[in-house]
Amino acid sequence: MPIIETAAGPLFYAQHGSAGLPVVAITGAGGTHRHWGYQMRDLAGIARLYTLDLPGHGRSPLPGRASVPEYGAAVLALLDACQLERAVLVGHSMGGAIALWAALERPERVAGLALVGSGARLRVAPAILQGLAADYLATQRMIVRMSYAPGTPAELLAQADADYARCDPQVYRDDFAACNDFDLRTRLGELSHPTAIVCGDADQMTPPKYSRELQAGIMGAALTMVARAGHMAMIERPAAVSAALRELVGRSGQ
């Protein structure tokens, strides 16, 4: 689990699996590589999985970035540093926006796309943007509860609270501002990569309509709706998300 020097600065990543198509997993606002823990285990036999901490997140040093393109440049820099000519990009929420941007900017570097709880436009409710400025901790806790389906065990919510509390507040605020500024809806028709779209049917942060818009706009995209999952489907219902990713890896390697 090294920190590697890249053109975008030092980045931490974890690698699982030693053979197969490279898969690079990107987390959402305030997240870390740990959010893909189940998929690290589930995909290790069929792919080389790289899960990174974006700049300013987890074990990657500050500063963070202020826009999706800046984070996208960091992901492309990681591909270069790891000598990955092409990879499947898997992105959750803001990570999906980053993957979309990278696929449009450098399509030859992307073998496939998986967009989990994401969208081509990531409008953030004004109450969240204002709350992160006025009452940061209370708003962060509200976001966690909006991110999981009803009935989520209290211990899982407490762990999520603790995980996000480790994120630098300015990085977290900037991540949500970057999401709010993101809009690639008019460019979806340019994409021709094998694409899997995954969404929890109880997602309040990026409701299913966002995923349906992605499916309608990207030629041949497959949509998986995960029952009884919220925004964190890869943690709440990991088997369903891993199954969709395995299918995508198979299509992307053809």
Residue 18: pLDDT band by 50, 70, 90 thresholds?
confident
Mean of pLDDT values over 77-101: 98
Range list of H helices, the chain: 37-43, 68-81, 94-105, 126-134, 136-147, 154-165, 169-181, 208-217, 233-236, 238-252
Q: In sequence order, which residues have a C-beta less than 8 Å from that of residue 130 and are 6 or more positions away?
A: none
Cβ density class 94-115: b for 16+ within 10 Å, e for less: bbbbbbbbbbbeeeebbbbbbb
- pLDDT at residue 9 greater than cutoff 80: yes
What span, in angstroms and rounded, lies between the C-alpha atoms of 117 and 120?
11
Each residue's pLDDT tens digit, 213-224: 999 999 999 999
Q: What is the pLDDT of residues 20-52, one digit of tens each?
A: 999 999 999 999 999 999 999 999 889 999 999
Q: Give the residue-averaged pLDDT of 6-26.
A: 95
pLDDT at residue number 1? 62
CA 151/CA 51 separation, integer angstroms? 28
Kindly report, residue by residue over 163-191, the tens digit of the pLDDT.
999 999 999 999 999 999 999 999 999 99
Mean local confidence (pLDDT), 182-209: 98
Q: What share of the chain has pLDDT > 70, as a percent?
A: 99
Give the residue among 66, 105, 80, 73 at the shortest CA–CA distance from 5: 80
Supply the pLDDT for residue 254.
63
- The single-letter DSSP state of residue 17 is -
Superfamily of structural domain 3-252: Alpha/Beta hydrolase fold, catalytic domain (3.40.50.1820)
Assigned token pair, 76: 């492309």
In this prediction, residue 19 has a pLDDT band, given cuts at 50, 70 and 90, of confident
| Mean pLDDT score, 69-76 | 98
Reported pTM? 0.97
Contact call for residues 53 and 75 (beta carbons, < 8 A):
no
Phi and psi at residue 84, in whole multiples of 5°?
-100, 105
Model pLDDT, residue 253: 81
Average pLDDT over residues 65-84: 98
